[in-house]
A and B are shown apart, each in its own frame.
Chain A
Amino acid sequence: MNTTIAVKQVLDTTPLIRLKNCTMEFPGVKALDNVEFTLMPGECHGLVGENGAGKSTLSKCITGEHHMTQGELYVNGKKIRIPSYSIRESQALGISIVHQEFQLMSDMTGLENVFLGRYETKAGFIDWKALQKKISELIEFLEVEVNFNIPVKYLRTAEKLIVQLARALINDSKILILDELTAVLQEKDIQNIFRIINILKKRGIGIIYISHRLDEIFECCDSYTVLCDGKYVNSGKVKDINKPQLIKMIIGRELTQVYPPVNEKFGDMLLEVKDLTAPKAFRNVSFHVRAGEVVGIAGLLGAGKTELVHAIFSNHKLTKGKIFLKGKEVKIKNPKHAIQLGIGLVPDERRMLGLNMQFDIKDNTTLPTMRMFRKFKIFQDKNAEAKAAYEINKKLNLNYYSLWQKVSKLSGGNQQKIVIAKWMLKNCDIFLLDEPTRGIDIGAKFEIYSLINELTKQGKGIILVSPEMEELIGLCNRIYVMYEGVVMDVVEGERKTQEVIINSLLGVNEK
């Protein structure tokens, strides 16, 4: 008994991770500059900063994926020899990382995934009984309800995450890095992750929590470290600061107004849809957008939001329903036709659907409009194209080095600006924005917000899909709340509150 207490005390005072003067240089860039970081046992440490601030690089230095150029790393008080440090060694020391991107074999069961590569064997055969027992213990410990015996492809996003967490924990991890886990999760699943984090903390496990959502830092973290442009800004206890202070540290300036005032001057009816139905996605959806209006679409994962905007863009099959553009009924044949009619789609998966990562900035910006810049109607006029791309990107305040730069080298926020620039160049009337601020940093988020506002002032109609209620309330004139493919409620004016929306999101209809 005494020994355990003694051990516990030692654990409590020795940091799990101590990073001193960490500097990480890539050819031409200093990704980390003299960063300090300390993780204590049983604490959840929020690592915050804008995209490109060095959060991921820092976590990779800790897991051994990168070798830092200068500085010292102590794990459990023991100094690590950096040149020979590796992911294998960090795993042996009990460091695990869980990414938002899934690294699971989708056709294998949760159980197989958890033990992949470290099956326990008995007489040369896999000892399924022992594995099953271990996983049951873990399920009990985490108090989760996830079926580990079906292929993970049948699991929900949140459940897949639990499988990944289980995989990290079965390894007897002492240090857990959670990298942007909640970016793909819905509110109640996030709460579940927080609950698990609390259980783990009680076990003395240290958690490094990386997130863009600052509310989460205040909700589940004990301490924080702020990075800005690779430099260490500050760290301390979460309870000693408030949100505006944290934002100021992250972006290096104060934000007076988060959302620009909503435009209230509407023009003519731009888009009206009636009884849109697509099997397994949504049914009988009707709404309208006027010029200068932002219409929000709220809903949980699987509510049919993304399918709905894709259907309007004719990239998802409709079985029923009518679409009216400026009062005239139209049958949109394919995305090309939709674009000709003045509709632009900014898809949620920017890298997969929004951009051609191998193309440069100019080619991406002018991809839908390249036919506008032609000599003799045959040859591309590259100079005119470059000029147009330059001007539109200047308007959007794009931060880049050269138009011939590959878009893959840009930050998420800048990439998103290019996707929007495509449609501004095309002079679209209707913008379908599917989670336009997903995975981009705060500074860029605000720029997107004011851009949306700017578009409404020009008389564009905007349909905004977002999982963040705050964003919808701050930007939209009217919000349609979907639940399992059906519009449950239309929220506008004074009813635009989180409570009203949440009730409809979860299918609790009070109308």
Chain B
Amino acid sequence: MIELDFKEKTRRYSGGLKSFLSDWMILILFVALVTICMITMSKFRDPKNLFNIIRQASFIAIIAMGEFFVILTGNMDMSISAIIGMVSIFFAGFVVTMGAPVWLALIVVILMSVIVGIINGLLTIIGKMPSFIATLVVMNILRGFNFIYSGGLPISGLPQGFNFFGSGYVGVVPFPVILMFVIAIILYVFTTQTSLGRSFFAVGGNYEASKLSGINVRFVGILVFVICAVLTAIGALGLTSKTLAGNISLGDELLFDVMTIVVLGGTSLMGGRGRIFGVVIGALFLQVISNIMVLMGIATPWQWVVKGVILVTVVLIDSNTKRD
């Protein structure tokens, strides 16, 4: 009898077709868009092109997964573009100019981004600054350091072997794609199957109530910035390896794309709501749109316009649909 009642009380609570559609809207749109392009555009359905899309989406997806955590807790990290520049230029500097081994340079730049993440977190959580301002300030300071270090010039001449990171293949599958999926799966398990993972959603949903429920809200709040910085560093290393050169302006245009992807993926800007695989789909979606525009010969400035319109549309929908 009790068993039966328990089953009854744990039955899945389906919100009907409407809630299904709003939950999976991005996936449905993505499938629809890809299907239409597959049918109508021969250049698009070329397997080479398809692999290219996923490969190009992979590093930006990794960075977006980092930003996802910050937005999940109701904050925002504007410093990622400067972190990308920092990782790129210092990594190249360590390896090319100072002759450090690649593994050591990797560790050092990852540690540097951890420190940047901690600073972002401390300013926001302990210093109680609005994250938008805190990370914007950090971004500018980092940009300054990047420029001071490099004089603004790119540092080229990274070893050929490092190329594997961004352009290598395992069998027929590009290495970045594997990396993206491995990271996504780990983060998926982390966010859905662990108590720390659930704490992120709790803190984003209601900071005070989470604190009073015994969650270490400060730790969680700072940790998201560190996760974001580290994932950004991994993405930045991938982007650097494609050209084998360090460049301080590598990430300058990426912040906008990353924000678009996170929001496209169904992450609420108010915090507390979102999915890792939503972010992955968001990244693929945006990349498909870029790809189509390139194939159709649309000029870059127009691509910015289109992406801007997409972001506005998604945020408008997000802000105006009541979720409960």
Contact = CB atoms under 8 A, between A and B. Distances in A.
Q: Are these two chains actual partners, yes or no?
A: yes
Nearest to A380: B193
Contacts of A406: 324
B119 interface: no
Interface stretch (B201-209, B236-244, B258-266): B201-209
B211 A315 contact: yes
Nearest to A378: B194
Contacts, number: 92
28 contacts: A313-B212, A315-B211, A335-B211, A335-B212, A335-B213, A336-B215, A338-B214, A352-B209, A353-B212, A355-B206, A355-B209, A356-B210, A358-B273, A363-B202, A368-B213, A370-B195, A379-B194, A380-B193, A390-B6, A394-B5, A400-B9, A401-B9, A402-B9, A402-B10, A402-B11, A402-B13, A403-B10, A406-B324
A403 B5 CA distance: 12
Counting from the closest, the 8 A-B pairs by CB-CB distance are A339-B214, A404-B13, A358-B205, A336-B214, A370-B195, A356-B206, A367-B213, A356-B205
B9 A380 contact: no
Interface string B8-44: 0111110000000000000000000000000000000
Contacts of B213: 335, 339, 367-368, 422
Interface string A337-367: 0111000010100001111111110010001
Contact of A367 (B189, B202, B208, B216): B202
A408 B324 contact: yes
A315 B212 contact: yes
A265 interface: no
B187 to A, nearest CB: 14
A386 interface: yes
Interface in A359-415: 359-360, 363, 367-368, 370-371, 374, 378-380, 386-387, 390, 394, 400-406, 408-409
Given A336-B214, A358-B273, A359-B201, 19 more contacts: A335-B211, A335-B214, A352-B208, A352-B209, A354-B209, A356-B206, A357-B205, A367-B213, A367-B214, A368-B213, A368-B214, A386-B10, A400-B9, A402-B9, A404-B10, A404-B12, A405-B13, A406-B324, A409-B324
B85 interface: no
Category for how many chain B residues contact A? 20 to 34
A441 B174 CA distance: 62
A224 to B, nearest CB: 33
Given A315-B211, A380-B195, A390 B9 contact: yes
A416 B261 CA distance: 38
Contacts of B5: 394
A438 B206 CA distance: 20
Q: Taking each of B205, B216, B273, which has the highest tally of chain A beta carbons within 10 Å of its own beta carbon?
A: B205
A248 B5 CA distance: 31
B246 interface: no
Interface in B181-233: 189, 193-195, 198, 201-202, 205-206, 208-216
Nearest to A370: B195
B272 interface: yes
A406 B205 CA distance: 13
Contacts of A370: 195, 198
A386 B198 CA distance: 15
